[in-house]
A = this chain, B = another copy of it.
Amino acid sequence: MSRQTPVQLPRGRPRSFDMEAAVERAMGVFWSRGYHGTALPDLLRATKLSRGSLYAAFGDKHSLFLRALDRYIADALTRMDIELDPRREPVDGLRAYLAGYVDRTSGANGRRGCLLVATAMELAGQDAEVGRRIASFFKAMEARVADALSRAKTAGKLADGVEPSSAARILVCFVEGLRVVGKTAPARNTSQATVDALLDRFIR
């Protein structure tokens, strides 16, 4: 199948730590503390890297942050692609998608918040690299939800007068708002009931 890569191996000591694992640990810190709230020692502790290794591997704090953000976004989109898989019943998919948000916005999960929303509020206005990522994520999310709604409509499962594209925009705003209100750690029941009441307005 694939030919042997013609690049010769590097000569010296190979990298001994897992870069992706380091990005993931860094992501966890940014997630909990925000960009400005995260100091270098926090990142060194979390990644268990020395200053030198971290800078050699990632360049600087900002670049590492972008990688962590990209990772967070990729995880979220992957999750959505599973939940809203076209081979599944679209309404079931939407329920699963919203159930995920109920989970992530109640109690301790809610209090921890969302790296994406926090970053949108903290940096999107000032940092163009971040702003582009945030905007493209919202677009991607909206497209996936609109697609699921569109399939639900074809199946005759949408309430009268519901249009997939505007309903998708509503749902995106709603779930991101859930993440904001989730910072006050509401009870699971509350979030679930709110989601159910919303879906009731759109699903037949």
Task: Say whether chain A's binding surface is mostly helix, strand, loop, or mixed.
Answer: helix
- In the complex, the count of this chain's copies comes to 2
Q: Is A183 an interface residue (CB 8 A)?
A: yes
Q: Is the CB of A111 within 8 A of B138?
A: no
Q: Is the CB of A169 within 8 A of B184?
A: no
Chain A 5-51 residues near chain B, CB threshold 8 A: 32-34, 36-37
Query: Which B residues touch A178, using CB under 8 A?
Result: 173, 177
Q: A117-B121, A125-B111, A183-B125 are in contact. Are A177 and B173 (CB under 8 A)?
A: yes
Contact mask A77-115 → B, CB, 8 Å, 1/0? 000000000000000000000000000000000011110
Distance between Cα atoms of A198 and B171 in the complex (Å)? 10
Q: Is the CB of A197 within 8 A of B125?
A: no
Query: Which B residues touch A170, using CB under 8 A?
Result: 174, 194, 197-198
Q: A112-B125, A118-B121, A118-B122 are in contact. Are A138 and B197 (CB under 8 A)?
A: no
When C-beta atoms are compared, the residue in chain B nearest to A112 turns out to be: B125
Q: Is A143 an interface residue (CB 8 A)?
A: no
Contact mask A147-185 → B, CB, 8 Å, 1/0? 000000000000101110011011011111111110110
Q: Pick the contact of A194 from B33, B173, B181, B197 — CB < 8 Å?
A: B173
Q: Pick the contact of A202 from B32, B180, B201 — CB < 8 Å?
A: B201
Q: A37-B36, A201-B202 are in contact. Are A131 and B184 (CB under 8 A)?
A: yes
Distance between Cα atoms of A183 and B135 in the complex (Å)? 8
Since A167-B197, A174-B177 are in contact, a sample of 15 more A-B pairs with Cβ atoms closer than 8 Å, ordered by chain A residue number, is A34-B121, A36-B36, A36-B37, A118-B121, A121-B122, A124-B183, A138-B184, A161-B200, A166-B193, A169-B190, A172-B177, A173-B177, A173-B181, A176-B177, A176-B181
